[in-house]
A and B are shown apart, each in its own frame.
Chain A
């Protein structure tokens, strides 16, 4: 079975400081990993994905994520947070052996960037 855990419901960070939103996963094969952002009363927007290759993936709006196979983690990072980054962030996974099954999402982490 596939699963994703986002251990923090809420992350608070000061504007200009680096931010990290944590994600760990569980799959039987190799993982395909995704990050999304959701603003209030809107749909999810795709930020980035890891398929294979370089463990550091760069995405939209200055976000990046680091894949760590030994720790089964895929943490989202940004060097300098903006107030406009305040939103709900979702990590998702799909097992390479699962075919085109639906993405499995974590419960989300609310990021609050304080000016």
Chain B
């Protein structure tokens, strides 16, 4: 059963803590993405990676970090430098093609307590 798996579904963080969101795909896609979703603001790109061991900043990368050590995995760390981390985080992937649609995971809702 192919797809993208994000975990956990819900995550609570205390202020000042780093947390890592997991994203795994078995679609054999080279490109992977992290988006942040806030009410009324649509999807904003945090980071993306088109190949293993390489990634680029998106529009709102400050306070976040990523790694791409394996093709299947693209974890996102929300650091204590992110001032307003409470949001819904979406991971996506697609094959490397201009015409390819992206496939999304089910999301992780992060709440700072």
Where the two chains meet, the residues of A that have a C-beta atom closer than 8 Å to any C-beta of B are: 9, 32, 34, 36, 41-46, 49, 51, 90, 94, 96, 98-100, 102-103, 105-108
B104: interface (CB < 8 Å): yes
Q: Which of A42, A46, A51, A105 contacts B107 (CB 8 A)?
A: A42
Q: B101 near A49 (CB under 8 angstroms)?
A: yes
Q: A100 contacts which chain B residues (CB < 8 A)?
A: 31, 50, 94, 96-98, 100
Q: B90 contacts which chain A residues (CB < 8 A)?
A: 43-44
Within 8 A of A (CB), among B77-113: 88, 90, 92, 94, 96-107, 109
* Distance A51 CA – B101 CA, assembled complex (angstroms): 11
17 A–B pairs (Cβ distance < 8 Å), ordered by A: A32-B99, A41-B88, A44-B43, A44-B90, A44-B92, A45-B104, A46-B101, A49-B99, A90-B42, A100-B31, A100-B96, A102-B58, A102-B102, A105-B42, A106-B42, A107-B41, A108-B42
- Listed from nearest, the 9 A-B pairs whose CB atoms lie closest are A107-B42, A43-B104, A44-B104, A105-B43, A43-B106, A100-B96, A46-B101, A51-B99, A43-B107
Within 8 A of A (CB), among B1-31: 4, 6, 31
A3 to chain B, nearest CB (A): 11
Q: What number of B residues sit within 8 Å (CB to CB) of A?
A: 30
B45: interface (CB < 8 Å): yes
Q: A96 near B98 (CB under 8 angstroms)?
A: yes
* Distance A31 CA – B47 CA, assembled complex (angstroms): 23
Q: A36 contacts which chain B residues (CB < 8 A)?
A: 104
Q: B100 contacts which chain A residues (CB < 8 A)?
A: 100
Q: A42 contacts which chain B residues (CB < 8 A)?
A: 106-107
Q: A90 near B43 (CB under 8 angstroms)?
A: yes
Q: Which of B4, B50, B103 contacts A46 (CB 8 A)?
A: B103
Q: B98 contacts which chain A residues (CB < 8 A)?
A: 32, 94, 96, 98-100
Decide yes or no: A41 and B103 within 8 Å by CB, A100-B98, A107-B42 being known contacts.
no
Q: B101 contacts which chain A residues (CB < 8 A)?
A: 34, 46, 49
